[in-house]
Chains A and B, each alone.
Chain A
Amino acid sequence: MSPFEYLRIALEALASNKIRSFLTMLGVIIGVASVIMLVSIGEGAKTYIRTELMGIGSNLLIITPGKTETSGMGHPPSGGVHKLTIEDLQALEKRAPALAGLTPMVVAGAPVKYGNHSRDVLVIGTDEKFEDIRNLHVEIGSFLGKGDIEAHRKVAVIGRTVKKELFREASPLGRTVKIGETTFRIIGIMERKGTTLGIDIDDLVFIPVDTAQDIFDQDGLTQILAQVVNENAIERAKDQIRQVLVRRHAGEEDFTMITQQAMLSTAQSILSTFTYVLGGIASISLLVGGIGIMNIMLVSVRERTREIGLRKAIGAAQRDILIQFVIEAITLSMIGGIVGILLGAGIAYGAKAAFPVVPVDITGWSIATAFTFAVLVGVFFGIYPATKAARLNPIDALRYE
């Protein structure tokens, strides 16, 4: 008997009880659709984080004051924590050849005023190298220049949102705003960037680093942003930074270096776990769908006892009956799997279309896994009822009422 005949018999049997077949499939449909949907969201989040992290520049290394242990409880600092200073940065510029560039950052929140308009923003004190290292560029006017830094000029570059909130349609170039109590002249407007890692890049104001230290009364830096020459030099760069700074900080390693790669892999591994957990939870519903298949197959075998007896009497071997019922179960799970994939992918794309913020990434592996799992569920939960059918004694089966 050809596989096609078995399939025909299975389809005829399923078609003769359409509502029941559909309801049985529904379990698998919901299971597969939720696996696809949840894994898509997890994968989408991963892609989102990767793009965001890569977008902040390449081969970045962030140095922050204070020692943070990434594992274990860490040890309490034995002496006072040294601040990171412009001098530290200059020493690194001279003695850490694995670094292609360094830029300081002093970060503080402050109100920005223009006329009657006022807005609380994040002010970043930095220097001219920030633009390239951080991969954020000016659109109109110019960024902070070397001269501005050296001369301690009170100039500012503002983000798109700040511009819109304070100036509406007017051009802000050359106008003055007050940051805290100090007056700044605006020399540039940043290009629109949106939100990166939870920070609205368009809602920032950039001023020279020294000026920022003055007006916020800080002698240290919030962090130093360093760019490594290439990705293979990251470990070398960390060693060089450690050597230079430990000597300058009286033998204490009282600072922390975070690489872009480390941030990425931490985020990725958390999100992978998250994806697997979501997929696992969704798989439970697929398993429940499988039990539904087994349940209905058992009912079906019982209902069709006489049919099985007759088929045996007219020449079906045990093997034929077994294959017939397994194929029926697989057909249910397979159609359920296909509809589930379409439904899951449809909802995922729909969500993306309706809410572009929701990161959704439908991956081939999640579709393949969900489908394979669905078919295996069909085989697994179909075998028992099918074996039961195949082993029926034809005489007893024919007499079954």
Chain B
Amino acid sequence: MAATPLIQLQDVTKVYVTGQIRYEVLKQISIEIESAEYVAISGASGSGKSTLLHIIGCLDTPTSGSYRLKGEEVSRKGDVELARIRNQTFGFVFQSFNLLGRYTITDNVALPMVYRGIARRARTEKAKTLLTRVGLSGFFGHRPSELSGGMQQRVAIARALANDPTVLFADEPTGNLDTKTGLDIIRLFGELNAEGTTVMVVSHDLRVAQHAGRVITLEDGRIIDDRRHAAAEPAETRTP
């Protein structure tokens, strides 16, 4: 285990103030996540699990507390630096896919590489490799609307992998999919984790928790449970 954890949260709180109402979403959260972990965050809705994921993913900022990424304090970074972290260190998968309808799926996957400044030809090639990796080799020129939900989520996963991220975040990735398709997606996460990518998934889906090597449970903004277990099938193939 490395001396500095990949992700280190110390007393992180998040407070929303709407008019007179002060709503504490996260209360004194302290966690450490190591490289190549597969973490599932579970909890009832309103427990703060999505907010936690967004803060770790640099999409949102904590109200107080310290967040260190690879030992560096994130809360002091400016917009451009945070954008670079989201672009190159992180990859996101959302419940509702969020693909751009006017682009082909290849261009959708290539989008993060546009912001990284990679030339068009190179990014198209990389996008095609990634689409092949998620099993969509025959659909390069298709638009998202021409694909099924499961296929669209695969495109979104390929897009999240475009800049070879250290951490892959997923917010309810199976929420809009049927049981069978959902399982395929969960398996895909397992495979990616087995290849060395850190995976953090927020999900109600119990099967996600079964696949993850670590399950963090939140309730009313606090961590009430954080357990590691030797997970089922793919996690065991993980290299130490």
Chain A residues with CB under 8 Å of chain B are 1-2, 5, 9, 12-13, 16, 306-307, 309-320, 393-395, 398
Q: Is the CB of B100 within 8 A of A310?
A: yes
Interface string of B58-90 (1 = CB under 8 A from A): 011000000000000000000110111011100
User: Chain A contacts of B203 at CB under 8 A?
Assistant: none
Q: Is the CB of B117 within 8 A of A315?
A: no
Given known A-B contacts A12-B102, A320-B83, A398-B98, A313 and B92 have beta carbons under 8 A apart: yes
Separation of A12 and B100 alpha carbons in the complex (Å): 12
Q: Is the CB of A314 within 8 A of B92?
A: yes
B residues contacting the other copy or chain, number (CB 8 A): 29
Chain B residues with CB under 8 Å of chain A are 54, 57, 59-60, 79-80, 82-84, 86-88, 91-92, 94, 98, 100, 102-103, 111-112, 114-117, 159-160, 162-163
CB distance from B37 to the nearest CB of A (A): 22
User: Chain B contacts of A315 at CB under 8 A?
Assistant: 83-84, 86-88, 112, 115-116, 163
Given known A-B contacts A311-B111, A394-B59, A319 and B102 have beta carbons under 8 A apart: no
CB distance from B1 to the nearest CB of A (A): 29
User: Chain A contacts of B114 at CB under 8 A?
Assistant: 1, 5, 9
17 pairs of residues in contact across A and B, judged by CB atoms under 8 Å: A5-B114, A9-B114, A12-B102, A311-B115, A314-B86, A314-B92, A314-B160, A315-B84, A315-B86, A315-B87, A316-B83, A317-B82, A317-B83, A394-B59, A395-B54, A395-B60, A398-B98
Name the one of A12, A313, A317 contacting B79, with C-beta atoms under 8 angstroms: A317
Name the one of A313, A316, A320 contacting B59, with C-beta atoms under 8 angstroms: A313
Name the one of B84, B94, B159 contacting A398, with C-beta atoms under 8 angstroms: B94
Q: Is the CB of A310 within 8 A of B98?
A: yes
Q: Is the CB of B102 within 8 A of A1?
A: no
Given known A-B contacts A313-B86, A314-B86, A319 and B92 have beta carbons under 8 A apart: no
Separation of A318 and B79 alpha carbons in the complex (Å): 7
CB distance from B221 to the nearest CB of A (A): 17
Q: Is the CB of B94 within 8 A of A316?
A: no
CB distance from A250 to the nearest CB of B (A): 88
User: Chain B contacts of A394 at CB under 8 A?
Assistant: 59-60
Q: Is the CB of B111 within 8 A of A314?
A: yes
Question: 17 more A-B contacts (CB under 8 A) besides A314-B91, A314-B112, A315-B163?
Answer: A1-B117, A2-B117, A13-B102, A307-B100, A312-B59, A313-B57, A314-B87, A314-B115, A314-B159, A314-B162, A316-B115, A317-B79, A317-B84, A319-B79, A319-B80, A394-B60, A395-B54
User: Chain A contacts of B88 at CB under 8 A?
Assistant: 315
CB distance from A87 to the nearest CB of B (A): 89
Given known A-B contacts A1-B117, A313-B86, A395 and B111 have beta carbons under 8 A apart: no
User: Chain B contacts of A320 at CB under 8 A?
Assistant: 83, 115
CB distance from A99 to the nearest CB of B (A): 77
Query: Top 8 closest A-B pairs, CB basis?
Result: A315-B87, A317-B83, A315-B115, A16-B102, A314-B112, A310-B98, A317-B80, A394-B59
User: Chain A contacts of B86 at CB under 8 A?
Assistant: 312-315
User: Chain A contacts of B91 at CB under 8 A?
Assistant: 314
Nearest opposing residue in chain B for A314, CB measure: B112
User: Chain B contacts of A312 at CB under 8 A?
Assistant: 59, 83, 86
Nearest opposing residue in chain A for B169, CB measure: A313
Q: Is the CB of A395 within 8 A of B115?
A: no
CB distance from B157 to the nearest CB of A (A): 13
Nearest opposing residue in chain B for A401, CB measure: B96
Separation of A316 and B84 alpha carbons in the complex (Å): 8
User: Chain A contacts of B115 at CB under 8 A?
Assistant: 1, 311, 314-316, 320
Nearest opposing residue in chain B for A318, CB measure: B79
Q: Is the CB of B59 within 8 A of A395?
A: yes
